[in-house]
Amino acid sequence: MILFRTKPAANESNEKVVSKGVTDSVPIATKGFAVDSASTSFRLFDFERRIPKADDVLIRIHYCGICHSDIHQVKNEWHNAKYPMVPGHEIAGVVEQVGSNVKHFRVGDHAGVGCMVDSCLNCKLCMLSSHIYLSFSLF
C-alpha cells in the first residue's frame, strides 16, 4: 500500500479543525492526484466534493492508501475506468463537520473510511457484513 500525506497549511493547527467556508449548499473545492487515461502520469487535479448531507461526516483527509484495485482501475485493466480518475479509497483524517443526523462522530474526532460508503447498515446483507452486494452502495 502506498500512502500519501497532505501537509497542513501554515495557518492550520493540528488541534481540532472546524470547517471554514463549508455550507450546506456549496460543493467543496478539493485537490487530488489524478490520471487522465491509462497511459498518463499522475497530476495535481482540482475537483469538487459533493455537498455534505445530513447523514455525512466531512473528513479532512491526512492519509490515503492506494491498493492493487486502484492500480487496476488506473490502468483500465477491468475495462470500466472513468477518467479523470482520483484513485484511493482507504482514507484517514480528522472530522471537520458532521451532518444533523450523525450521532457517533464529533468535530475533531479521528476517522477512517474503507472502500464502501452509503450502505444502510440495517438490512439483512449489512447485518451479515455483506454490504458489498447491495445494489445502492458506492465504491
pTM for this model (two decimals) = 0.67
So what's the pLDDT on residue 24?
54
Query: Cα torsion at 89, 98, 16, 4 (round to 10°)?
Result: 10
* 2-8+26-133 CATH fold: Quinone Oxidoreductase; Chain A, domain 1 (3.90.180)
So what's the pLDDT on residue 42?
96
Q: Which residue bears the cell 498518463?
A: 40
Give the span between the Cα atoms of 138 and 71, in whole angstroms.
18
Give residue 16's pLDDT band: very low, low, confident or very high (50, 70, 90): very low
Interval 57-83: pLDDT, tens? 999 999 998 888 899 999 999 999 999
So what's the pLDDT on residue 117?
67
The helix (H) or strand (E) run that includes residue 98 is: strand 90-98
So what's the pLDDT on residue 124?
86
Query: Strand order of the sheet with strand 2-5?
Result: 2-5, 57-66, 90-98, 110-113
Give residue 25's pLDDT band: very low, low, confident or very high (50, 70, 90): confident
Domain ranges of the chain: 2-8+26-133
Largest distance between two CA atoms of the chain: 47
Interval 32-42: pLDDT, tens? 999 999 999 99
